[in-house]
Structure 1
Amino acid sequence: MEIHQLRTFAAVAREGSITRASELLFLSQPAVSAHIKAMEESLGLSLFERTPRGMVLTADGARLLVKVEETLRVHREFLEEAGRMKGRLTGRIRLGAARSTNAAILGRFLSLLSSRHPEVEVELHHGGSAEVLGGIRRGTVDAGIYVEAGTPDADLATIEVDRFAVYLAAPPGTVATGEPVEISALAERPWICPNSNTCCGKIAESLFETHGFRPKKTVSVEQERVTRTLIAGGVGLGLLHAPSAMEARDCGEADLICEVCDGVSVVFAHLIGRSNDPVVSAADAIMRDLAG
C-alpha cells in the first residue's frame, strides 16, 4: 500500500467527492479513482459507496479511515523530524482560498512555495471569504487568502496581495447610465444580495444605510458568478467585483451604473499566534515577497 494512496483515500473520505479531492491533491479525477480502486482490490474490501450525493464511506472504510489518518500523521511527523535533522523545512500547510481569489496570485504563491520548500505539502481548501476566515479562527486551515471589505481584526497578521473596485450592475437597458443615478430611486427594483458577512454583502448593507433605503425585494445569492448570471437574465441589480463587472459589460451582459467601492482588499492572513510556526512563517515570507 503506497502512502499516496492513503492520502487519496483520506481526502475522498473528508470531501465526499472525487472532484474536490482531485483539486486538493492536484491530481486528475481518473488518478484519484485509480488510487481508490487499487486500494479496494489490494484489500479485498469495498471502501466507498458511490451515491448521487457523492462518495460515502462503507462501515469497513470508516473503520480503516481512523488508522489511515493515524498513519498519515505519523508519516508527517517522521518527515518533519528528518527535515529538522538535515535542516530543510518540511511539513504541511492547509491553505484556504476564497473562490474570488485571483488565480494568478494563488499560482505564483504555490509555485514559489514549491521551489523554495519542495518538501512542504499543500492542502488547498476553497470556499467563500467568510468560510476561509472562519477556518483560520477554528484552526481548520493554517492561513488563507480572502476578500476583506473592512479592517482586518487585530489578532490577524495580514498582507494585502490585491485590490479591486466593486460596481453596481443592472440588466442591460433597464437603468439609464448616461447621467448620475440616485441610488435610493432603485429601491423598487429587485436586488441580488449575498449574505451580510461577505464582502459584497457588507458593501450592500453600507450602501443601503448611506442612502437611507431597503430594497423591497432581495434575492439571496452567495456566489458572484451566479449573481452575474442573474443580472444578465434580468432578475435584478447586483454588485460585481471589477474584473467580472468589466467582462460582463464588455459581453453585453450588464450595464454598470456606478462604482460603489474603490478599494476592496484581497489579503493573505493567519493568526498572529501562529507566526512562529515554521511553515506558516515561510508562507508569510513568500506572500510578502509577492506583495513587494
Structure 2
Amino acid sequence: MELYHLRSFVAVAEEGHLTNAAKRLHTSQPTVSAHIKALEENLEVKLFSRTPKGMILTEAGDILKAQARKVLAAVDEFQTRAVRLRADLAGAVRIGLNTDSEYLRLTDLISAVSEKHPGLELHLTQNSSDRILEAIRAEELDAGFVFYENPYSDIKAHALRRSRVLIVAPAEWEERVQDASFEELAKMPWVWPARYCPLGALVLDHFESRGFCPARTIRADSEDVIRRLVVGGKGLSIMREDEAEALRAEGKLVCWQTDQNQDIGMDIFFVYHRDRKDDPVILAMLEAVERVWKTEA
C-alpha cells in the first residue's frame, strides 16, 4: 500500500466521482481507478459501491476514510516539521491575483517576501476570484486574493480591507445620471461582467431588491475592457471607489452620487487551503501580506 493509494481513496470519497477526484489530484481517471482497485485488493475490503450516480462508500469504506485522513494528516505534519528544520524557505509560491497590482500592493508584498525569505520565488497568475478559489482547491495555486466571501469549508480566508463600490458613467452622461433613480439607471445601457463577478452580483442584488434589473447591452470579462468601454461612452458600470475616483479626477467618467451608493461595499481576502494552515511557506506569505496591508491601513 502506497500513500498515493490513500490520497486517491480520500479524494474519491470526498468527491464522489472518479473524474472529479482525478481532476483534483491532477491525474487520469484510469489511474485513480487503479489506485482504488489496488487498495481494495491489498486490504481485502470493498471500499466503494460503484453506481451510475458515482462512487458510494461502503460501511467499511466510511470507517476507513477517517483513518486514512489521519494518516495523510500525519504525513503532512511530518513534512511540515522537516521543512521547519531547514535554515531557509525556498522554492516557488504560486499566487492568484484577482485585480490590479496597485490595489493589491504587489510591489510592497514582493519586497516584504524577498527581504525576509530571499529563497522564495513568487509566481503570479491573474484570474477571477472564483477561479482562484477553484485553483487553490485543486492545488494549482498555493494562495491568492479574492473579493467575495469564501463559500468553501476547506479554504481559509483572511479579510484584509473593505472597499466601496460605485456606479459610474461616461463623463458626457453627467447631467443624465446626476439625479437619476435606481429605476432610471436600470433603463440605461450597461457594461456588465461577462461571467460571475462578485462586484456585479453585489450591485445586481441592490437593483433586484428594489424590483429593477439593469439592461446589459455589452458584456466584458476584463476589468480593463469595462473601464475602456465606460470611458468610451458605451454605458454605465461598477468600479471600486479608488479606480472610479482616479478616473473621475482625470475627467474620464462621473460617479453616480447618492446616499444609496454608500451601501455598496466588498471585502478583499487572502486565501489558501485550510490543510496548509501550518505550512511554513503559507505562514511566511500570510505574515508578509498582513504586514503590507496593516501598513496600508
Correspondence 1:185 to 2:187 = no
* TM-score relative to the length of structure 2: 0.63
Counterpart in 2 of 1:282? 284
Counterpart in 2 of 1:232? 231
**Distance in 1, Cα, partners of 2:244 & 2:158:** 25
Correspondence 1:160 to 2:162 = no
Residue range with higher mean Cα deviation, 235-244 or 86-95: 86-95
Counterpart in 2 of 1:223? 222
**Distance in 2, Cα, partners of 1:260 & 1:236:** 21
Cα distance, 1:152–1:111 mapped onto 2, change above 3 Å: farther
Counterpart in 2 of 1:98? 98
Q: Is this contact kept in 2: 1:228–1:248, CA < 8 A?
A: no
**Distance in 2, Cα, partners of 1:141 & 1:274:** 12
**Distance in 2, Cα, partners of 1:126 & 1:163:** 21
Shift of 1:280: 1.2
Shift of 1:276: 2.1
Shift of 1:129: 2.4
* TM-score relative to the length of structure 1: 0.64
Written as runs of structure 1 = structure 2, the 5 A alignment for 1:119-158 is 119-148=119-148, 150=149, 153-158=152-157
Q: What are the Cα deviations for residues 207-227 of structure 1, in whole angstroms up to 9, with x where unaligned?
A: 221221223443111222221
Q: Is this contact kept in 1: 2:203–2:264, CA < 8 A?
A: no
Written as runs of structure 1 = structure 2, the 5 A alignment for 1:23-42 is none
Q: What are the Cα deviations for residues 149-197 of structure 1, in whole angstroms up to 9, with x where unaligned?
A: x466443222233332111111224253786431112222111111452
Q: What are the Cα deviations for residues 91-120 of structure 1, in whole angstroms up to 9, with x where unaligned?
A: 321111123343562222211111111112
Q: What are the Cα deviations for residues 230-275 of structure 1, in whole angstroms up to 9, with x where unaligned?
A: 1122211111111221122122221111336543222111121111
Q: Is this contact kept in 2: 1:94–1:125, CA < 8 A?
A: yes
Cα distance, 1:211–1:103 mapped onto 2, change above 3 Å: closer
Cα distance, 1:121–1:83 mapped onto 2, change above 3 Å: farther
Written as runs of structure 1 = structure 2, the 5 A alignment for 1:45-56 is none
Residue range with higher mean Cα deviation, 280-289 or 238-247: 280-289
**Distance in 1, Cα, partners of 2:272 & 2:162:** 19
Q: Is this contact kept in 2: 1:152–1:158, CA < 8 A?
A: no
Correspondence 1:118 to 2:121 = no
Counterpart in 2 of 1:54? none
The percent of aligned pairs where both chains have the same amino acid is 26
**Distance in 2, Cα, partners of 1:86 & 1:184:** 62
Q: Is this contact kept in 2: 1:89–1:120, CA < 8 A?
A: yes
Counterpart in 2 of 1:256? 255
**Distance in 2, Cα, partners of 1:120 & 1:81:** 18
Cα distance, 1:114–1:82 mapped onto 2, change above 3 Å: farther
Shift of 1:206: 0.9
Q: What are the Cα deviations for residues 18-59 of structure 1, in whole angstroms up to 9, with x where unaligned?
A: xxxxxxxxxxxxxxxxxxxxxxxxxxxxxxxxxxxxxxxxxx
Cα distance, 1:285–1:224 mapped onto 2, change above 3 Å: same
SS, match of residue 185 in structure 1: helix
Structure 2 unaligned blocks of 5 or more: 1-79
Q: Is this contact kept in 2: 1:193–1:204, CA < 8 A?
A: no
Counterpart in 2 of 1:203? 202
SS, match of residue 211 in structure 1: coil
Counterpart in 1 of 2:109? 109
Q: Is this contact kept in 1: 2:202–2:264, CA < 8 A?
A: no
| Matched residue count | 212
Q: Please, what is the CA RMSD of the aligned residues?
A: 2.8
Cα distance, 1:101–1:269 mapped onto 2, change above 3 Å: farther
Q: Which of the two has higher C-alpha Rg? A: 2
**Distance in 2, Cα, partners of 1:85 & 1:174:** 62
SS, match of residue 139 in structure 1: coil
